[in-house]
Structures are given as structure tokens and as C-alpha cells.
Amino acid sequence: MSKADNIFIAMCKDILKKGISSEGQIVRAKWEDGTPAHTIKKFAIINRYNLSEEFPILTLRPTNFKAAIDEILWIWQKKSSNIKDLNSRIWDSWANEDGSIGKAYGYQLGIRHEYPEGEFDQVDRVLYDLKHNPYSRRIIVNMYNHNDLHEMNLYPCAYSMTFNVTGKKLNAILNQRSQDVLVANNWNVTQYAILVHMFAQVNNLELGELVHVIADAHIYDRHIPLISELIKRTPFPAPKLLINQEKKDFYDFKLEDFVLENYRCGVQINNIPVAL
């Protein structure tokens, strides 16, 4: 049985049982019919995934593995904020007529800064430190740039990563200000687990933990029946992640370098309503 599924089930049960409803509050998000999209939420959810034990992809229902990787490469490798560089359509509603989502996500990672060791953007600084100073306690990436928030079509949800090497293990903390649990939870876990795998491989490090901190973990009102049905399912064993071991440069990874072996999962939930 997948440990990632157990974590997801426990989190959802906790939110449904102990969460706080937004009914009676003024909320930003709305459904397509204009109805306010209320939620039930928990503050400060913390989930831990030991990447050396299994790859934490959900088996209760399928997670679009390739699309999740494509987005993380779009942000972290291409450092793009234009949907023309992305294969999926998940950002279409946030893009302008030129395809840009503004100065968000990849744009922030590509801004170069001057350091005593030279000029780096945020991703290259991580790569430099993991190679030259792996035990630094300052290996942090932050996309929540207050100077540019007014030029972002959506404020970053998953906004920062802290990397920490303990012994030979690479650990990371993903900080997320807000998360739609049904739509995005395992999507984010999958793609940031892939990111840790990539950084570990190119720096000859072992896999440690991915710790996911969610400030506002919420389930939308129209998702409650879907979540309730989903967490009653029986999980499958976790699949095995295979990565092209010949890739030693972070910027050489392609979609085809990642394969899931024996990925068994439940049926997909179709027509999930999305709050905007």
C-alpha cells in the first residue's frame, strides 16, 4: 500500500472532521455559475515523504505524471512564465493574449543576482551551493517577490523551497500558501519529488525527505462528495520511479528521462468543478 495514499487519506479525513468552513465569509473564488466557492480548511498542514522509500504518487486515482513533470521543467528549467513553452493547457485561463502569466513562477527563478562568487539566478545558485557548499543552511529559492506581485496574473501558490543536506541525503521543504487539495495536492507532491530527485542525481547525493508545508489546505464545497468517495478506495502499492542515470546536468533532463514502472491506480474522477 502506498504511503503517499495513506498520508493523503489522513489529511483529507482531518480536514473534513476538524476543518473550518468559510460559509458566511466573503471569498474571492467563484464557480463558473457565479456562486461563491466556499471551502472547509485546516491551517498549517505538514506532510513528510521519505523519497528513499517510495515515489509519492497517488494511486487512489491517476496523477498526470508527465504533465506534472512538464510544468516543473517549465518553471525550474526553462524559467518561463509563458504558456507557449508549456505542453499542457492548465495555465490558459491565467495567461494574457501573448501567453504570459506575468512576472510569476519561472520569471522569478530566472532573475539574476550578484553574489561574492559571481552572478546567478535562483536555480543556478542552488546548483552551485549543492556542488560547492552542500552543508550550507542558506540554500533557499523564493518566488514570492513583493515588488512584482502586482504584475503576476496569479500569486505563487507553491512559492519557496529550502534544500538541506544531512550526511549525504538531500532533503527539501516545499512551502505553499494555499492548496486546492483535490485538484493540486498530489500534483505538487509528484513534481517537487521529481525536482529533489533531479537535484540529488546531478550532485551525487542520496534521497532524503520532501516535507510539504501548506498554510491553507482546503477542500471546496463541491469537492466534498468527490473527496469522500476517493478516500474510501483501496490504495495500490507505490510504483517505481526510473530516471535516466546518464543525465548529470540539470538542464539536460527531458520528459522522456522519467518513467513510472508498475503504476497501478484507481479510475480517474472526471468533470471536477474548478473554482476560479
Q: Grid coordinates in use for 218? A: 482546503
- The pLDDT value recorded for residue 104 is 97
Q: Grid coordinates in use for 210? A: 520532501
Of 138, 174, 170, which Cα lies nearest the Cα of 156? 174
pTM summary value: 0.96
Q: Tens digit of pLDDT for each residue in 142-174? A: 999 999 999 999 999 999 999 999 999 999 999
Is position 12 annotated as part of the catalytic site? no
In the set 157, 170, 182, 238, the catalytic residue is 157
Q: Do the annotations mark residue 220 as ligand-binding?
A: yes
Whether 266 maps to a domain, the answer reads no
Whether 275 maps to a domain, the answer reads no
Q: Tens digit of pLDDT for each residue in 37-79? A: 999 999 999 999 999 999 999 999 999 999 999 999 999 999 9
Distance between CA atoms of residues 239 and 228, nearest Å: 24
Distance between CA atoms of residues 160 and 211, nearest Å: 12
Q: Do the annotations mark residue 112 as ligand-binding?
A: no
Number of domains in the chain: 1
Distance between CA atoms of residues 26 and 24, nearest Å: 7
User: How far from each other are the two terminal CA atoms of the chain, in whole angstroms?
Assistant: 34
- The pLDDT value recorded for residue 276 is 85
Q: Do the annotations mark residue 25 as ligand-binding?
A: no
Quick one: average pLDDT of 265-275?
93
Quick one: average pLDDT of 230-249?
97
Q: Tens digit of pLDDT for each residue in 194-205? A: 999 999 999 999
Q: Do the annotations mark residue 188 as ligand-binding?
A: yes
Phi, psi of 136 (to 5 degrees): -60, 145
- Residue 70 is given by DSSP the state H
Whether 270 maps to a domain, the answer reads no
Q: Do the annotations mark residue 137 as ligand-binding?
A: yes
Q: Do the annotations mark residue 180 as ligand-binding?
A: yes
User: For all residues of the chain together, what is the average pLDDT?
Assistant: 97
Of 150, 155, 128, 153, which Cα lies nearest the Cα of 139? 128
Quick one: average pLDDT of 235-241?
97
Distance between CA atoms of residues 134 and 22, nearest Å: 43
Distance between CA atoms of residues 58 and 64, nearest Å: 10
- The pLDDT value recorded for residue 274 is 87
Q: Do the annotations mark residue 111 as ligand-binding?
A: no
Whether 272 maps to a domain, the answer reads no
Which CATH number fits the domain that encloses residue 138? 3.30.572.10
Whether 268 maps to a domain, the answer reads no
Whether 276 maps to a domain, the answer reads no
Q: Do the annotations mark residue 64 as ligand-binding?
A: yes
Q: Is 160 exposed, middle or buried (0-12, 13-18, 19+ CB in 10 A)?
A: middle
What domain range includes position 240? 3-261
